[in-house]
Amino acid sequence: MKNYAKAENVGLWSHHPVMGDVSFDAFEKVGDTVHISTPPYEWAVNGSLYCDKNNDWYLYAGLYPWGYGTAENGYSHFRVYRSQNEGKSWELLPEKLSPNHFFEGAAYPSNSCPDAVLFWDEKRGEYLLTYDWSTVNFTWEKAHSSDDPADSGAALAFTDSPAGPFTRNSRPVYRTSALRGKFGKFDRFYATTVIPRKDDYLALVLCDSGPHYAWGLICLTSKDAQQEFENPTMLLCNERAGYYPTPMEYYPAFVVGDTVYAPATSVARSRNYQFLFAAKLEEAHRPEAWQMVTDGSLWHSRPLADEAYGIWGQTVNGFVKEDKLTVMYASRNEQGMGTLSVASRPWSKPVSDGFTVSGHDGPSVVCLQEAYTEFDLNARFTLQGSADFLFDFAGKIGPDIPQADSIPCPEALTEYTALRIAQDSWALVQKGNILAGGSLPGKAQTVHLARKDGKISAWVNQVLLFDGMTLSLAAQPLPLGIRTGCFSVLECSEFTVTGDCCPAAFTYTVMEAVLGAGVKLADLTQTPENLWVGQQRVKWNPHGSQLTVLGVAGPQYGEAVLQVDGEEKGVVSFFAPEACCKELFTCTVKPGAHGVELLPKTGVFPIPELKVQL
């Protein structure tokens, strides 16, 4: 018997940017929602949090028009909130940074100034405020183009007080136009944190790649905060050889002691997976200094109207004081308006017993990493919306499309059997079909689900729903799991399973490989047989100990090199005298998380799937 709702078992669940996350994090909301957006700035979805020496808290709220609207909708900017009682109440301070600013050598003024983040600079004896900017003629159509004088970037302002007033520096930290072309497909740069170091200043900059749907983190450095920054270096992106889930978007970074932390959040539609990278601050300009310290289970959503869309816009940001991490976080409410709130947890104890799984604008599917044939499951929970307690999961891992706002692939959403619980009803579901159902005996708080001798029995709130129902079920052990519907939150205090189990196996899809490498679909050819063929690097990011490449071979195809964490494992041949589907290559690896790449060697190849045995 094992209770998978215990924090010690966090690693026995799947954590995936598109499929979703089961989170054991210990965050609790502090006070009421600080900011609820109103027109014409409907999207306050970015911000940062700072604590000064007097223990006053300052929340820098980035305000945007709906859809990150640009100049024609009103300029984006930040406002400052202050709390002098540790988040119990907040006051909105006067606006302190005026629009219509000309940087040195600029042909157009900058109106926008959102996404502000503050640090104390011991060398200068004042605060540094980093903010984004764009010229008044900037539009999203020009965001990835070098053919127009519209520009954007980040800049600094200086102040004696976190409340302002702020004196803008005459030179920006960087101009996107000057960085474009230095990092291949990554050609837009924004959402910046400038951190003072012992002998210089470090700028950590988010970048994206437009139609490739890949994001990364670069850095620049400068000896002088008043000069433009230099030495642009890619630190983290999906071109990294090792394990690196995608699609993930950074901003902003924060510092604890001598370490800088860069959290990132998924931009898939479920919006509930985060990871955390860290590096020693004085070494943070070196890519090899950065290591993943948290893979999922970093943040959970709450069943609150102000947070209907989960984390949205950016990830968490804040400070540590007396072993407490306090952060601001952005979301959108039921009307789609941006909201900003504050939460805290013990710094030294990031997880606790009990987990949360949520679906927001899209569903989530999370699975145990252990497989069962016969089992006895007891779950205790609260639920807003709907949830499937699933078993016999034979679905695949990957997105429906290799883009932002993706959801789990169709096979992940149908290839299982489940007891579905909604607010006032239940259903037995298999492969997307409802086999039985009815009304619930009160609001569901417990589920007891059992499989014995190929038959299924189920209870809700200790009331029998059906007993010994015969179904067509898999003979081999398969994972149990949970699917949450759209705008649904399951908070589970018990998930106890009794039965014999073994390590599970999962198949990762073609679209997972495309998204994992940031391949633009337009650069691949789709065949009448629905194969995606090209000569592109592709990448999966699985957990496992045995890897099997599954795909199509044929007379028109060539070879690719399989690499695991940057180490070559062998050559995969896609050639066969006649077209066939088969296992193309198998290798064993050290159990754990890996970056698995296929690199073209000769000719083109149809992108395969990857079966992974844990």
pLDDT tens digit string along 337-365?
Answer: 999 999 999 999 999 999 999 999 999 99
Average pLDDT, the chain: 95
Q: Among the three residues 349, 372, 399, which one is the final residue of a domain in this structure?
A: 349
Q: Give me 535's structure tokens.
A: 């000569």
User: What confidence score (pLDDT) does residue 144 get?
Assistant: 81
Count the helices and strands in the chain (H runs, E runs): 3, 50
What DSSP string runs through 367-431? EEEEEESSEEEEEEEEEES-EEEEES----BSBSSSSTT--B-HHHHHSSEEEEE-SSEEEEEET
Residues 551 and 492 grouped into a single domain: no
Quick check: is 22 in a domain?
no
Q: Is the pLDDT of residue 252 over 80?
A: yes
Q: Is residue 18 part of a domain?
A: no
pLDDT reported for residue 288:
97
Residue 213 predicted with pLDDT over 90: yes
Does some domain include residue 513? no
Is the per-residue pLDDT at 71 higher than 70?
A: no
Inside any domain, residue 512 = no
Same domain, 600 and 458: no
Number of structural domains, the chain? 3
pLDDT tens-digit readout, 169-208: 999 999 999 999 999 999 999 999 999 999 999 999 999 9
Q: Does residue 263 sit in the same domain as residue 397? A: no
Is the pLDDT reported for residue 98 higher than 90? Answer: no
Residues 87 and 213 in one domain: yes
Q: What DSSP letter does each residue of 236-265 carry, written as one string?
A: ESTTSSS---SSEEE---EEETTEEEEEEE
| 519 inside domain | no
Contacts of 73 (CB under 8 A, 6+ apart): 40, 65, 66
In which domain, by residue range, is 422 found? 2-10+360-504
Domain check: are 334 and 400 in the same one? no
What's the confidence (pLDDT) of residue 147? 67
Percentage of the chain modeled with pLDDT above 70: 99
Helix (H/G/I), strand (E/B), else coil: 516: helix
556 Cβ contact list (under 8 Å, min separation 6): 603, 604
Region 142-171: mean pLDDT is 89
* Cβ atoms within 10 Å, residue 583: 11
Domain boundary among 349, 381, 408: 349
Whether residues 59 and 119 share a domain: the answer is yes
Does 155 share its domain with 294? Answer: yes
Domain match, 248 and 141 both:
yes
**Predicted local distance difference test score (pLDDT) of residue 501:** 97
From 260, 290, 282, 255, select the one nearest 119 (Cα to Cα). Answer: 255
In a domain, 596, yes or no: yes
pLDDT for 442-490, tens place per residue? 899 999 999 999 899 999 999 999 999 999 999 999 999 999 999 999 9
Q: Is 150 a residue whose pLDDT tops 90?
A: no
Q: What local confidence, expressed as pLDDT, does residue 73 receive?
A: 59
Q: Domain end: 349, 370, 396, which one?
A: 349
The answer to whether 128 and 72 have CB atoms below 8 angstroms apart is no
Whether 540 and 468 share a structural domain: no
Confidence of residue 558 (pLDDT cuts 50, 70, 90): very high
Percent of the chain with pLDDT over 90: 91
Query: Do both 450 and 389 map to the same domain?
Result: yes
Q: What is the CATH classification number for the domain harbouring 266? A: 2.115.10.20
- Give per-residue pLDDT as tens, 505-555: 999 999 999 999 999 999 999 999 999 999 999 999 999 999 999 999 999
Q: List Cβ neighbours of 115 (8 Å cut-off, separation of 6 or more).
A: 46, 47, 62, 78, 131, 132, 190, 191, 192, 251, 252
CATH number (domain holding residue 455): 2.60.120.560
CATH code of the domain in which 578 resides: 2.60.120.260
User: Domain for residue 379, yes or no?
Assistant: yes
Contact predicate 532/520, CB 8 Å: no
Taking only the tens place, the pLDDT of each residue in 598-607 is 999 999 999 9
Q: How confident is the model at residue 375 (pLDDT cuts 50, 70, 90)?
A: very high
Looking at the structure, tell me whether residues 443 and 563 fall in a common domain: no
**Residue 165: cis peptide before it, omega within 30 degrees of 0:** yes
Give yes or no for a contact between 46 and 330, defined as CB atoms under 8 angstroms apart: yes
Residue 544 lies in a domain: yes
Whether residue 90 is found in the same domain as residue 61: yes
pLDDT tens-digit map of 381-430: 999 999 999 999 999 999 999 999 999 999 999 999 999 999 899 999 99
- Count of residues in the chain: 614
pLDDT bin (cut points 50, 70, 90) of residue 99 is confident
